[in-house]
Amino acid sequence: MNGNEAGIDCGGRCSAVCSDEAIVNSPRLNIIVEPVSAEILDTYTMKVYVENLGGDEIKDLSVRVNRWSMENATITSIMPGMREQKELLLSLPANPYEDSVEVQVVQNGAIVATEPVPVTLSVPEFSVKISRDPVSGRTYEAVIVDNRNKSARNLEYDFTVNKNKETYLFETDKSANVSENELFHKVDYLYQNLPSGAYDINSAFYENNQKVGEATAYVVLAGARKSFNIQYFFYSLLLVIVGFSAYVFFIAQKKIKEG
């Protein structure tokens, strides 16, 4: 069984008719998702509602999308007639002509329900965004310039990354060489990783020392992959050594007083 088939090689997109047993055993689910409308290279929080249309409790479901995210959301149980809400964080692509993504519900390793979601991606004239590489966990910046139907240009830009009115990062004197009639985007890893949470990125673009554009982007970073931190390990080991030494000193002083 795969795709949105109701049983093994039956129902859904498959032309074969399901047996009564397959129909009875397949969970009856309804997936509700709003169409995606955002800018290219945005991070987007997709809200997914999964409704149990059957007469029995449904257990052990996983909700995912077929691309743009490494996240899975787990549903432990849905009672008949009830609905569960889950959120998936998407890293949207640079291609404004992408027009759909598919939400999938999986049970016991098989896809038991799917829902196509329309996607509309717009292109800002100028923007700087940040996101997290789902594989490496590193934070990167994405620079966008919509230079379609325009001549080649050499731009400079600055940007700040802020969270709760606190500036986490300030970058200046960065450059972008944009070709004629190009939808320009460039991705660079940042020298520091940022903690999870919501950020706003304020950017300004200059050409021949004159400001030609500015933008503010709002993004959400998911959790970063945990990695071994040698500095943290060193300080933890040092604290253990100091604590043990203090304990040994205390015992020695106690024995001296008793003797």
Q: Is the dihedral of CA 23, 28, 32, 33 positive or negative?
A: negative
User: In DSSP terms, which residues pair with 145 in a beta bridge?
Assistant: 126, 184
Q: Where do the domains of the chain lie?
A: 20-122, 126-221, 230-259
Cα–Cα distance for residue pair 259/256, rounded to 1 Å: 5
Answer whether 20-122 and 126-221 agree in fold: yes
pLDDT per residue rounded down to tens, the chain (259 residues): 566 565 656 665 665 656 555 545 679 999 999 999 999 999 999 999 999 999 999 999 999 999 998 889 999 999 999 999 999 999 899 999 999 999 999 999 999 999 999 999 999 999 999 988 877 778 889 999 999 999 999 999 999 999 988 898 999 999 999 999 999 999 999 888 888 889 999 999 999 999 999 999 998 887 643 333 434 444 455 555 656 566 556 666 666 666 5
On the CB side of 51, CA atoms within 13 Å amount to 7
75, 84 Cβ separation under 8 angstroms: yes
Which pLDDT score, from 0 to 100, does residue 129 have? 93
112, 30 Cβ separation under 8 angstroms: no
Structure-token pair, residue 212: 């030609």
98, 121 Cβ separation under 8 angstroms: yes
Which pLDDT score, from 0 to 100, does residue 11 have? 60
Segment 118-122 long-range contacts (CB within 8 Å, at least 24 positions apart)? 118/35, 118/36, 119/35, 119/36, 119/37, 120/35, 120/36, 120/37, 120/38, 121/36, 121/38, 121/39, 121/40, 121/92, 121/93, 121/95, 121/96, 121/97, 122/37, 122/38, 122/39, 122/40, 122/96
Which pLDDT score, from 0 to 100, does residue 232 have? 40
Overall fold of domain 126-221: Immunoglobulin-like (2.60.40)
4-17 b/e with 16+ CB inside 10 Å = b?
A: bbbbeebbbebeee
Which pLDDT score, from 0 to 100, does residue 192 have? 80
Overall fold of domain 20-122: Immunoglobulin-like (2.60.40)
